[in-house]
Amino acid sequence: MTRIAVILGSTRPGRIGEGVAQWVYENAALRGDAEYELVDVADYALPLLDEPVPPSMGRYSRPHTFAWAEKIGSFDGYVFVTAEYNHSIPGALKNAIDYLFAEWNNKAAGFVAYGSVGGTRAVEHLRLVMAELRVATVRAQVALSLFRDFADMSRFEPGPRRAGELGIVLDEVVAWSEALAPLRRTPS
């Protein structure tokens, strides 16, 4: 069965992304079209990139890198849950992405973002990063407003149309993940 990771990218103390990621995971798990797993970047405690060789060489040397590579490599696609910090993605998410290369290749990704303008600028940056890693990004995304989808800008209370938007993202991520499967079976 197709495996999709819901990746929580913020590691900030008191982060509001946990509620968003849990909502994404719970909605996804009800579908039955893929196996979904919630992956929290904070659980891996990755220091700033400390591998001496570029990730594209695939010669990892640190235990935390091997653990992260094994986890990310086990999926066929991803749904990134990201905050928008200063018009971009959280540094911890960028760092976690930069640790690996081949583990991301020939997979699909979708986005659920949150921020003052729905996290859309963070997603635009994330799309560029994913393109470099040979990840096909889907067009649909969920853009959550801190003003409309969070009570007091802290407690996640999604608007009524958000579940439908998420469903479209998940449909596309699963479809593209399955379509890219032949490429994952062929050495790059």
CATH of residue 27's domain is: 3.40.50.360
Nearest to 4 by CA among 188, 180, 185, 157: 180
Quote the domain boundaries for residue 84: 3-185
Q: How far apart are CA 77 and CA 16, in angstroms?
A: 23
User: Quick one: pLDDT at residue 186?
Assistant: 72
CB atoms closer than 10 angstroms to residue 30:
8
Q: Please give the tally of structural domains in the chain.
A: 1
pLDDT in tens, the chain (188 residues): 999 999 999 999 999 999 999 999 999 999 999 999 999 999 999 999 999 999 999 999 999 999 999 999 999 999 999 999 999 999 999 999 999 999 999 999 999 999 999 999 999 999 999 999 999 999 999 999 999 999 999 999 998 899 999 999 999 999 999 999 999 987 65
Q: How far apart are CA 188 and CA 174, in angstroms?
A: 22
Question: Which tokens sit at 120?
Answer: 């859309």
